Amino acid sequence: MAQDGPASMNLPKVAVDWEDTPKAAYSVFESRTAQNCAAYLLPALQSLKDANPRVALLDVGAGHGSISATLARLIPEGHVTAVDINPDVIPRAKVIAESYGATNISFQAGDIHKLPFEDNTFDVVHCHQVLAHGKDQVGALREMLRVTKPGGLVASREGDMDSEIWWPQTPGMQKAHDYARMLITAHGGGGCSSSGRQLLSWALEAGPKRSQITPSYSVWHFTEKEDKERWGGGMLNVALAGHVRERAVKAGVKEEDLDEMREAWKEWIERDDATLIMVQGEVLIRK
């Protein structure tokens, strides 16, 4: 995923393997770093570190932890606690952390709505593309604020699925967008497809004054060949293959539509003029 400012140059290159579902899927998630996904947080993190290098950072919904690990590298005298509701991700997250040479990091299971920590524990509590997937985003932000020290920061970045735009605008790509949106908003019984634009309103509802919140917006885009292979590969090999495809067909999605989406993604990956862009909303909240 390319990013304004920090570019995608350092991402691992993964060619599309039409048969290898998990590798292509993980490639999208594991290419995320502090630099390409939390750029809005980095100047404030640097200031905290300048004041006290032993920054305690909690990364919530960390998944495979590539953002957690790259954050850990930025605070070598500090510590990152990476939690995810699914403890099955921890072994892979440990491998990723090792690949980045991050040793000041620990992993545990934890629910964003009931974080297993005392009040006022962390200097920074961060989540990336987590709130959009659940319900009660305001409650989640309140819980993140609870475990943040006074004077510390809550940082959240959320995609805005409905802001997604792409080129070329083929009928198959429109179907593919509608299908992906359906999968995301249906997942887990919650989900929000306009989280980027709503994030500031959730932050205000969680309690802080407007003056405590710094909102910003950036884009995710997939335009260079390797980025398109990564994103389109995830769509082809996960969203449109295996058990997800089977579930979709059972739920009534037509096989011919799924095939049209596959062809549209393949064309999109190959075309020189193709791109896909999505707005990301960001808030930094000073407790």
Of 279 and 285, nearer to its own copies (C-beta) is 279
Q: Which is nearer to its own copies, 200 or 261 (CB)?
A: 200
d(CA 50, CA 240): 47
For 59, the token pair is 């990364």
- Exposure string over 265-284, b if 16+ CB within 10 A, otherwise e: bbebbeeeebbbebbbbbbb
Q: Which of 260, 230, 282, 257 is nearest to 15 (CA)?
A: 230
Q: Are strands 56-60 and 122-128 parallel, antiparallel or unpaired?
A: parallel
Site for its own copies in 203-232 (CB under 8 A): 204, 210, 215-219, 221, 223
Q: Is residue 43 at the binding interface for its own copies, with CB under 8 A as the rule?
A: no
Could you tell me how many residues of this chain bind its own copies (CB under 8 A)? 31
Residues in 126-165 that interact with its own copies by CB under 8 A: 160, 162-163, 165
Q: Which of 191, 196, 232, 234 binds its own copies (CB under 8 A)?
A: 196
- Residue 95 engages its own copies in binding (rule: CB under 8 A): no
Q: How far apart are CB 47 and its own copies at their closest, in Å?
A: 16
Identify residues 1-40 at the interface with its own copies (CB under 8 A).
2, 4-5
Q: What are the DSSP calls for 91-144, one per residue? A: HHHHHHHHHTT--SEEEEE-BTTB-SS-TT-EEEEEEES-GGGSS-HHHHHHHH
Contact between 170 and its own copies per CB under 8 A: no
CB of 148 to its own copies, least distance (A): 21
How many Cα atoms sit within 13 Å of 1 on the Cβ side? 25
* From 50-58, 74-82, 189-197, 235-243, span contacting its own copies (CB under 8 A): 189-197
The reply to whether 197 sits near its own copies by the rule CB under 8 A is yes
Q: Between residues 52 and 201, which has the closer beta carbon with respect to its own copies?
A: 201
Stretch that binds its own copies, among 67-75, 111-119, 167-175, 239-247 (CB under 8 A): 167-175
> Contact 157/128 with Cβ under 8 angstroms?
yes
Given the rule CB under 8 A, which of 87-95, 98-106, 140-148, 194-202 is the region that contacts its own copies?
Answer: 194-202
Q: Cα torsion for 155, 119, 53, 10, to the nearest 10°?
A: -30
DSSP per position, 191-244: --TTHHHHHHHHHHHTS--GGGEEEEEEEEEE-SHHHHHHHHHHIIIIITSHHH
Smallest separation (angstroms) from its own copies to the CB of 167: 4
Place of tokens 């004041």: 51
Residue 270 Cβ vs its own copies, minimum distance, rounded to whole Å: 12
User: Per CB under 8 A, does 261 bind its own copies?
Assistant: no
**Under the phi-then-psi rule, with left for phi > 0, alpha for psi from -120 to 50, and beta for the rest, what region is 80?**
beta
168 contributes a contact to its own copies by CB under 8 A: yes
Question: Binding residues for its own copies, per CB under 8 A?
Answer: 2, 4-5, 160, 162-163, 165-169, 194, 196-198, 200-201, 204, 210, 215-219, 221, 223, 272-273, 275, 277, 279
